[in-house]
Each structure stands twice: as C-alpha cells, then as structure tokens.
Amino acid sequence: MTAPAALLRRRRTESAPARAGRRRPAASEQFAGWAFVTPGALIILVFGAVPIVWSAVMSFQRNNLLTGNTPYVGLRNYRAMVHDPVVAQAVQHTLVYTALFVPGAMIAGLFLAVAMNRKIRFISLYRTAAYATMAISTISEAVVFIWLFDPSYGVVNYFLSLLGIPQQQFLNSPSQALYVIVIMTIWGWTGFSVVIYLAALQGVPQMLLDAAAVDGAGPWTTFRRVTLPLLSPASLFLAVWLTINALQLFDEVYLSTQGGPLNATTVLVYYVYEQAFINFNFGYASAIAYFLFLIILVVTAVQFRAGRRFTHYRS
Amino acid sequence: MRTHWLGVALASSLVALGLAACGSDASSGGSGGITISIWNGYTQTEAKAFAHLVSVYNKAHPGTTVSSLYVNNDNTLQKVLTAVRGGSPPDIAYLYGSWAPNVAQIPQVVNLTKVVQGPGVSWPDFWVGERDVATVNGKVIGIPALVDNLAVVYNKTLFAQAGLKPPSPDWTWQQFVADAAKLTNPAKKQFGTAYVTPGTEDTVWHWEALLWEAGGQILKPGNKQAAFDSPAGLQALTTLRDMAITDHSMYLDPTDNAYTNVFNSGKIGMLVTGPWDLSVFPNVHYGVQVMPSFPGTSGGHQTISGPDNWVIFNNGATHVSAAEKFLLWLTAPAQVKYFSLATGDLPTRRSVETAPGFLQQMNKSLPGVDTFITNLGNVRQARPQTPTYPKVSQILGNMIVSVLLGKSQPQAALAGAAQQVNQALASTNG
Amino acid sequence: MTAPAQAMPRRRFRLPFSPWHLVLVPATLVLIFPFVWLAVTSVETLPEALHFPPILTPHTIRFANYPDALHAAPFGRFFLNSTVVAVTTVLCNLVLCSLAGYAFARLRFLGRGALFAVIMATLMVPFQVTMIPQFIITKWLGIHVLAGVGINHLGALILPNAATAFGIFFLRQFFKTLPVEYEESARVDGASRLKVLWRIVLPLSAPALATLAALTFLDSWNNFLWPLIAVTSTSQMTLPLGLATFQGAHATEWTLLMAANVMSLAPMLLIFFAAQRYFIRSVAATGLAGT
C-alpha cells in the first residue's frame, strides 16, 4: 500500500529536476558528480592547466630559453605580434586551412562510415584500412605525398597531363602549397572520422530506419531525416575535435615545406616553433600561442553554441 | 564473466604500473662510479663507430661510465633547452654550430677556453672554421665534433652522355651554368643542377658560398649592418636566377629531401652538397670537384663549412671534469682518425688529414671524399657568430626563394632584404 | 497499409556481390596507397630505395631488412616499453574517462560547465609551449611524490595521459545519446550512480569504449614528442623514439625504417581488427529489441 505511493513520490522527485531544470541538484548528486570527475580532472589540470597558466606568464616576459633572466616586458610581445606581418599571414593560412580541412575530413569520413556500416565480406579489412591511415607515421605520409605532388616526377601532374592540364608547381608554389597540405591531412584524418561515425552509427536503431522505410522514405531522405540528426552529437564532436587539431597544424608542415615557400604554409603553431627554437624568442612564441588559444577558445565556444541548436540528444 | 575479465585487466595494469614504477634509472652509476650522459644524433655507421669508442673508453676507465643517448640532431635543441630549464641538462650534447652563438648564453655551458689550451690538446690542430664556430666572443664553448664543407658532386655518366668535359679544379661559375644548361633535358625530365628552397638555413648557406666566392660578405664587421647587397651579392644571386628562371636547368626542391634521390636516380647533372651525401649515391658514377670561382674577384674557390660542437653542461665539478676528460680523449688524433676511417666523416684535425696514407684509405671506402678533405683548406671564414643570425637567415632565405621562384628581381630583392636585415639588427638589444 | 511496399517483380541487374564493394575497394586503395610504398620499401635494397620517383616494383627483394632492423637497436625493449605504456594508458582512460564523461553527461554539480570548459581548454595550447612546464612538473612529481612517474620512467609517459580531454569529451557526447530512461528506472530501483554506470551505461557503450580504446592506444603508441623530452636513457625509450634512430640528420635508412614501421604498425592493426566486432552492437545487448 505504502510502497506504490512511495514509489510514486520518488518517481516524481526524480524526474522533476529533469522537467523543471532549475531545481538545485541533490547534495548526493553534487557529491557523486565531483567524485566521478576528480581523478580524471586532476590529472588533466595538473598536466594541462598548470602549463597553460605558466605559458601565459611567459608570454609577458622576454625569454630566450637560454638564461634564467626573464624580465617582464608587459604587453610588448603582444604589441609586436600586432605589427608582425607574418602573424597576419599565419592567421589567414591557419583559418583557410581549417575551413577546408574540417568539412572535408567530416564528409569523407561520413561517406565511408556509412559505406562500412554493413556486414559484407571483407568489411573488417575495409575498416582496418581506414583505421590504418591514422596509424601511419607522419614521416611516411609526408614522403608519399611529397612524391605524389612533385612537379616533375609526381603522379598527380602525370594524370593532369593526361587531361591536358599543364604542370602544376604544387609545393613549389606559394599559392598552391597550402592546398596540398589540406589534401594530405584530409587523407590522414579520414580514418578518424570513419571510426567515430562508425561508433555513432551503432546508436541509430534499426527500428527507426525500418519505420522510415515503411513510411515510404527513400534511402537519401531516411539518411537526411533520421540518420543525420541522430549522428549530430558525433558530428559536433568531430567538428570541435577536428577544428581544435586543424588550428594547431604543425607536423605535416614541419616535415614537408618548413613553412615555405615564402611563408605560404606558415601556420600559427609552426610560427610558434620557429620563434621559439630557431629565433630563441620564447616569450614572443608564448604570446602567439596565447593568441591562438583565444582563437580556438572562441571558435570552439561558437561551435558548442551552434551545436546546442542543431544536435539532437535522445534522452 | 565480465568481472573476471575486468579482474584480469586490473591485475595486469597493476603489474604494468609496478614495472613502470621501477623503471631503470641509468643516471646512478654502478659501484661508486659516475655516469656521464652524452646526447648525440649518430646513426648507422657513425653510431657503430661511436659505440665502439665509448665501450673502449668505459673499459679503460672503470670509475666512469659514458652513457650514450640517441637524439636526432634536429630535435636536440628542444630537448636540451627543456632539460636545461628543468634543471637536468645532459653532461655532453652534440649541438649544431649554427646554434653556438645562442647556446653560449646558457649559464650551464662550461667555458672550455683554458681546457683547450691544455697540454696535448693542440687546439690549432683543429681547422680554423671549426675553431671559429666553437668560439663565441672569445669564449670557447665547445669542442669540434664534425666538420664538413660544400663542393660539387657531379654525375660522370651524364657528363659523358652530353659530351662535356668534367669540371676541372680551376673552373668558373660561367662553366657551371653552361654545363647545367647542356645537361638539362626536359624530355627525359633531367636537370643540370638542383637547389633546395624551403627558405631555411639550408637554402641560405648554399648561396652564401657563392657570395663569398664572388668576394662579398654577409654582414659588415660589427654584425649590425648588411653587406650582402653589393655587386658580389648581385652576381651570386643572378647566377642562381639564370639557372632557375632563364635556363630552367635547376630542380627546385622545397622539401629538402627529394633532391638526393633524384640525383641518385641519374636525373641531375651536378649538385652542390657536402660529404654526408656521398653514401646515398650508390647508383651513380659520381665525381667530386671544388666549388667554381668567379674570375676577377678575390673569392677564389672558397667554400663554406658547417661544423658542429660537443658542448659540456655543468652538472657539478666531478661530472664536468669527467666529461672534459672523455671529450679530450674522443677528439684526440687517434680517435679522430679511427672515427673518420670508420664512417667517412671528414677528419676534424689537420694532423689526421696529413697522416700518410690517410687520404687514400678514406677514398677507398668512400670515393670522392678526398676532394672534400682537401677542400677544407678552402674554408677561410665562418658565418657571423651573432645571436641574431637566425633572423638574418630567414630574411635571406625568403629573398633567395622569391628570386628562384621568379617572384622578384635580384637587385630589388637584395635591396629589400638588406633593408629588412638592417632593421632587424638595429631593433635587437643584445 | 500493413503490407510493406513489396517489390513488384522487376528486372534488376544483380551483382554477385554487394554493390558497396564497388565503392569501398577504390576508397580503400586510396586509403592504403602509402602503405604500399611503405611495405615495398621495407623489402627493397637500399640502392633501389634511394630512388625518386620511388620504385614500386623492385628487382631485388630483401626480407633481411626485418631482422636487421630488429638488431639495429634494442627493439625488444622498445616494444615492451611501448606496450606497457599503451596498455596502462588505455585502461586508465577507460576507467577515468567513463567516470568523468558520465558525470559531465548526466550529473549536475556546481561548476560543471566551468570545469568542462577548462578541461577542453587544455587542448588548445600547442605542445611546444607546454612541454617545458610539463617537464618541470614531471620532474617535481618524480622527486616529491613517486619516483616511478618522474623523468626517465615509464610512469612519466603514462600519467600525463592517464585521462585525456579527448576521452572525457568523446564519452560525454556518447553517453548523452543514450536514452536516459534506463538509468532513471535503475535509480528508482535504488541503484547507486556507480552501479548505474557500471551495469547499465557501460554495457550499452561498448562501441564507444572500443573506439576510445583503439584511438587511445594509437595515440599512446605513436606518441613521439613527450617521450623525446622525458626519456633520457635508451632503456626507457618507446618505439617511436626507437624508429627515430634510423633517421639521421642527413641520411635516413629508409629500408630499415620502413621495416621497423611495419613491425610497429602490426600490433595496432591487429588490435583494431580484433576490437572491431565490439563496434557493432548486437541487438540483444542494447535491450532495444521489444521496446
């Protein structure tokens, strides 16, 4: 007699916060929340947040990493940054690169993930091939793409010549080099998108797809109306993650063009490295890194905001 | 079932953590001896020869253990600077000579000026180019670990096919340019020569060799003003430009990587490069010749060298003296001779070069290296030993690449670069 | 209305295999093309490897590159180190990121948003700038807390990555897609939150956990920069550092390097290949059947 009533009461209080959204969570929930989060957060804060604060401090110093003499110079590094033409170029290159890379990697990954989300023969091999592109060392990736895009001996120019297109300079051309890097990195990251989308596709209940088919929806409409919205959390994740990584592009530039030709592939992190370890200007490098940090922070916040409107969490 | 699996996983991770926790720490030497760490980038034959020398020394000196750690030379600076700032520098590190003016500012770097004047060291036995790079503001901060220089490596087969006479020791840049044009064959995708265009120091120092051969200078004495925007600079830059833009005889490599393999595939006639590349040309019948000259200038067949240093860091008096002892032994004539013969690296000491039979022995294992060795006599000066040189290098790199890509004319490029260099040097306060 | 749109007997050209193969095969070829170069170079002789454009059909095959690569440096040790580091990192991540990800996804606590933002922020500063503070912190921990996590110990390679913002973010997203009803009814039945996570959420998350494990393993296995800075003796080197011993400043031993690369890739690919079946959740496990 009392049991169902008690159950009913409990049910109401349990779901009330979910509906009202404003009720303060119970103390036990607060405690559980912090208890769950602390071990992981502690590690990340110690090894991630502390260095970030440290770097912020360094950005206000003149620091060449050689001596311990690091006087505070206030905003001088930041002012120098504003007047540095290479910083403006680096910002432009970084943003252009990101704008091309992120959608490219997501779309390629989505397409392949949908293709690989079925039980046909050899499917394990196809999926492993996608994963393998992430496993390959960057130096191997760089060597192969440098060869593919070599103006004289490369395969791409060979195919272009078959189509009657004259020899392109690719990595030798300030106007084309960045796009070659875009292609190289989309290749390298497609596997990542595939893996993420594959995991997310498992959350799309077959029931819903069948129901859509019953309602007469074609495959493309089903995909657009049912699958894509259900994939939106994964899409948000990918968009945020790929963007954060794209804005910090370094390895491929370091291993192929070293920021050239004529700074055409100098992106912000490469410039940070150059200032820190070639020009021994570590304070300045920290300031640039901080500027990049702000850019990434703003872009990510915007993505989360937009994501809140477009992502569909099934709860 | 799941619990069981998890139990196994947890147990194994505990074991793993246990293993990790008692990871060996090699910095404590055995039975009361001391261990000195030496970070170097030796690979392949160099690594083997070096390991042999280290084990010989360790056996002969039971109180000391020399422990070698591989770090790719390009990465050494980051690792060393992090270690220095973290208070744990190595005892000895192999550092590029181009970093010397900046490395000299590290307080933990040991001043070796008195040490190299010590008995038996014979400091003047090291080539002048090496000594110049190991000395910053009168202070000796390193002992030469490597010396090299630029010369011309050419493909004998391609020369014969084109009906050209191979380069002679008194050849000129005019002949180089003419040969390059004749060796270029677009149908066969063959180029007369090549140049690296990433815009880094590798781009710059190749051009600086021409600048010096044309009788020019990089910076004025005092290192506060540009001196390269001179007729010599123009001549050097125009020579390269003619090959790249007019004759199309120059393969441009923006990645600093592919050109050696292209040469080894028989597609390039002549390369300006160093002795380190000789071992990667197994498929080519090559010859080596000194740099050409610009007739009518004081430059002659002078060349440029890029020596590297062993640098000692202060980890306490016992470590420093043990490190000094090891380094002096390592760079003594007997060990230099052994190392050169084993690896094909140029000898860092003149006495080793003149040792009877040495040149022939070297040339037998690495044909063509004898020209590089005697070419050491053509090294007359070093690049400016100033901490601001990296900035100068970047400006010069952009200048050279923009001319080679046809984006600017030599005269204007030189003037623009000189203005930028003067600005950069003026705005530096030490 | 009940009879589904049954296909009228139509003449359809039927391939003996699924048409998706026509898409996947070319796609896979594009994806694995660099591996072809890698594998071919690993069995070439050096003179043929030093060719540009690269030779993909060598005249001489040299399998001895593999034992040569293994003997060039103590690869057994590097392999063991990498395995210990990667396995431990993966296990720690699975545990810690599940806990934290669940908290961010489902639990409400004061400061949740700010903490999540700070955690995400740690992803936004490049390593070149954070490596020196990270070195100093690691050194301090090794001296004052536990020797095993200090400089030149495998613990130093594990601990900074034992929980990653990536893992927390990824699992948070995934947990939010799960229908909350199961968890709520379990709570109503008196289960503790930990039990809810352990008994309800994690089993439903097998694909995500498998994905996280695979990606974390990959990241740890290939990690180069931090081990470069933190390791100061050969016995503590991991595989990427070992591979670097083939790359001199001027000349790279391509054949041995690629052989070593193949041997380094193999465990990762095998693990992924094996973990794959967890990517497809069986209908029974989801509990969706019959809902």
Same domain assignment for residues B297 and B315? no
pLDDT tens digit sequence for A165-184: 999 999 999 999 999 999 99
Chain C's closest residue to A12, CA to CA, is C188
On average, the pLDDT of chain A sits at 87
Provide the token pair at C88: 């431990």
Check if the beta carbon of residue B262 is closer than 8 Å to that of residue B255.
no
What is the structure's pLDDT at C20?
84
Q: Give the range among B25-29, B145-149, C136-140 with minimum mean pLDDT.
A: B25-29
What are the residues facing B194 on neighbouring strands? B251
Going from the C-alpha of B187 to that of each of A243, A311, B183, B348, the distances in angstroms are 44, 57, 12, 44
| Residues B298 and B314 occupy one common structural domain | no
Q: How many CB atoms lie within 10 A of CB A150?
A: 24
pLDDT band at C271 (very low <50, low <70, confident <90, very high): confident
CA–CA dist C118, B394 (Å, integer): 37
Give the closest residue to B110 by CA, choosing from B382, B322, B389, B330: B322
- Structure-token pair, residue C272: 């992924």
For position B156, what pLDDT does the model report? 97
Torsion of CA C178, C181, C185, C190, to 10 degrees: 40
Q: How confident is the model at residue C4 (pLDDT cuts 50, 70, 90)?
A: very low
Instruction: Please state, for a pLDDT cut of 90, what percent of chain B lies above it.
Output: 87
Helices A76-83, A282-310: axis angle to 10 degrees equals 70
Same domain for B316 and B236: no
Instruction: Report if residue B270 sits inside a domain.
Output: yes
Residue of B95, B120, B115 lying closest to B105 (CA atoms): B95
Q: Which residue has the tokens 């060719």?
A: C51
Residue of A nearest to B398 (CA): A262
Of B105, B251, B394, the CB nearest to A152: B251
- In B18-91 the beta strands, taken as DSSP E runs, fall at 34-40, 64-70
The confidence score (pLDDT) of residue B256 equals: 86
Q: Which residues of A touch B251 (CB under 8 A)?
A: 152
Task: Determine, for residues B254 and A174 on separate chains, whether the beta-carbon distance falls below 8 Å.
Answer: no
Interface confidence (ipTM) of the complex:
0.88
Same domain, B277 and B400: yes
Whether residues B169 and B318 fall in one domain? no
The answer to the question of residue B9 being in a domain is: no
Instruction: Pick from B75-84, C4-13, C205-214 the range whose average pLDDT is largest.
Output: B75-84
| Residue position matching structure tokens 């990536």 | C166
C238 touches chain B (CB under 8 A): no
Q: Minimal Cα distance from C180: which residue of A?
A: A315
Mean pLDDT confidence for B386-402: 95
Confidence of residue A70 (pLDDT cuts 50, 70, 90): confident
Residues B105, A277: C-beta atoms closer than 8 Å: no
CATH number, domain of B55, equals 3.40.190.10
CA–CA distance, B392 with B226 (Å, rounded to integer): 9
Report the pLDDT averaged over residues A292-310.
Answer: 91
For residue C172, the Cα-to-chain-centroid distance in whole angstroms is: 18
Q: Are B234 and B329 within one domain?
A: no
Q: Taking every pair of C-alpha atoms in chain B, what is the biggest distance, in angstroms?
A: 88
- Residue C207: the pLDDT is 86
Instruction: Please state, in angstroms and rounded to a whole number, the distance separating the CA atoms of residues B319 and B90.
Output: 10
Cβ B253 vs Cβ B123: under 8 Å? no
Taking the C-alpha atoms of residue C93 and residue C82, their distance in angstroms, rounded to an integer, is 16
Closest CA to C38 of A139, B280, A188, A251: A139
Do the domain assignments include residue B83? yes
Please name each of the domains of chain A with its CATH number.
81-310 (1.10.3720.10)
Whether residues B167 and B136 share a domain: the answer is no
Q: Is pLDDT at B178 greater than 90 in this prediction? A: yes
B124: number of Cβ within 10 Å? 11
Q: Nearest residue of C to residue B279 by CA position?
A: C251
- Residue pair A112/A194 in contact (Cβ under 8 Å)? The answer is yes
pLDDT of residue B12: 55
Write out the H or E segment, with its range, that includes residue A80: helix A76-83
CA distance C261 to A135: 10
Provide the b/e sequence for A222-252 (b: ≥16 CB within 10 Å).
bbeebbeebbbbbbbbbbbbbbbbbbbbbbb
* Other Cβ atoms closer than 10 A to A176: 17
Same domain, B191 and B130: no
pLDDT reading at C281 higher than 70: no
Are B301 and B312 in a shared domain? no
Contacts of A218 (CB under 8 A, 6+ apart): none
* Per-chain mean pLDDT for chain B: 91
Read off φ and ψ for residue C8, nearest 5 degrees: -65, 145
Task: Quote the CA–CA distance of C45 and C64 in Å, as a whole number.
Answer: 9
- B267 occurs within a structural domain: yes
Instruction: Give the end of a domain, one of B320, B347, B374.
Output: B347
Q: How confident is the model at residue C12 (pLDDT cuts 50, 70, 90)?
A: low
Give yes or no for residue C10 having a pLDDT over 70. no
* Chain B residues 250-289 with CB within 8 Å of chain C: 258, 260-262, 264-265, 267, 274, 276-277, 279-283
Same-domain pairing of B286 and B394: yes
Instruction: For residue range C147-198, list pLDDT tens digits in order.
Output: 999 999 999 999 999 999 999 999 998 898 888 998 889 888 888 888 889 9
Q: Quick check: B72 pLDDT over 70?
A: yes
Cα-atom radius of gyration of chain C, to the nearest Å? Answer: 24
The CATH architecture of the domain made up of C75-286 is: Orthogonal Bundle (1.10)
Is residue A12 scored above 70 in pLDDT? Answer: no
How close C200 comes to chain B (CA, Å)? 13
Q: Is B44 left (phi over 0), alpha (psi -120 to 50) or beta?
A: left
Q: Is the pLDDT of residue C1 over 60?
A: no
Is B6 contained in some domain?
no
Provide the pLDDT for residue C229: 95
Question: Between chains, do B276 and C251 touch, taking CB under 8 Å as contact?
Answer: yes
Q: Note the pLDDT of residue C119.
A: 95
B160 touching C (Cβ < 8 Å): no
Q: Is residue B181 part of a domain?
A: yes
Domain ranges of chain C: 20-62, 75-286
Residue A230: pLDDT band by 50, 70, 90 thresholds? Answer: confident
Q: How confident is the model at residue C11 (pLDDT cuts 50, 70, 90)?
A: low
Whether the per-residue pLDDT at B89 is higher than 90: the answer is: yes
Extract the tokens encoding C2. 């009940």
Q: Look at A174 and B106 and tell me if their CB atoms are within 8 Å.
A: no
Residue B194 domain boundaries = 151-305+383-426
The least confident of A85-94, A226-235, B226-235, C76-85 is A226-235
| Strands of chain C, DSSP E | none
Q: Is B404 inside a domain boundary?
A: yes
Which residue's structure tokens are 């009533």? A5
- Please report which confidence band the pLDDT of residue C279 belongs to, taking 50, 70 and 90 as the band edges: low
Check whether residue B124 and residue B236 sit in a common domain.
Answer: no
Q: Which among A53, A137, A304 is the top mutation candidate for probing chain C, defined by the most C β-carbons within 10 Å of its own β-carbon?
A: A137
Domain membership flag for residue B415: yes
pLDDT confidence of residue A2 = 39
Distance (Å) from the alpha carbon of C128 to chain A's nearest alpha carbon? 6
Question: What's the confidence (pLDDT) of residue C9?
Answer: 55
Query: Quick one: average pLDDT of B298-322?
Result: 95
Q: Are residues B332 and B300 in the same domain?
A: no
Among C86, C83, C80, CA closest to C235: C80
Residue A196: closest CA among chain C residues belongs to which residue?
C211
Quote the DSSP letter at residue B191.
Answer: E
Give pLDDT tens digits for C118-133.
Answer: 999 999 999 988 899 9
pLDDT higher than threshold 80 for residue B22: no
The model's pTM: 0.89
CB within 8 Å of chain B, chain C residues 18-37:
none
φ, ψ at B143 (rounded to 5°): -110, 135
Task: Pick the residue of B3, B79, B283 with the most C CBs within 10 A to test the interface with C by mutation.
Answer: B79
| pLDDT score recorded for residue A314 | 59
Contacts of B86 in chain C (CB under 8 A): 132, 135-136, 139, 151
Task: Check whether B124 has a pLDDT greater than 70.
Answer: yes
Instruction: Tell me which H or E stretch contains C243.
Output: helix C239-244
Residue A155: burial class (beta carbons within 10 Å; 0-12, 13-18, 19+): middle
Number of domains comprising chain B: 2
Which are the contacts of A18, defined by CB distance < 8 A and separation ≥ 6?
A: C180
> What per-residue string of b and e applies to B167-182 under the rule 16 or more CB within 10 Å gives b?
beeebbbeebbebbbb
- Could you say which DSSP state residue A276 is in? H
Range from A4-13, B109-118, B270-279, C180-189 carrying the lowest mean pLDDT: A4-13
Confidence at B108, pLDDT banded by 50, 70, 90? very high
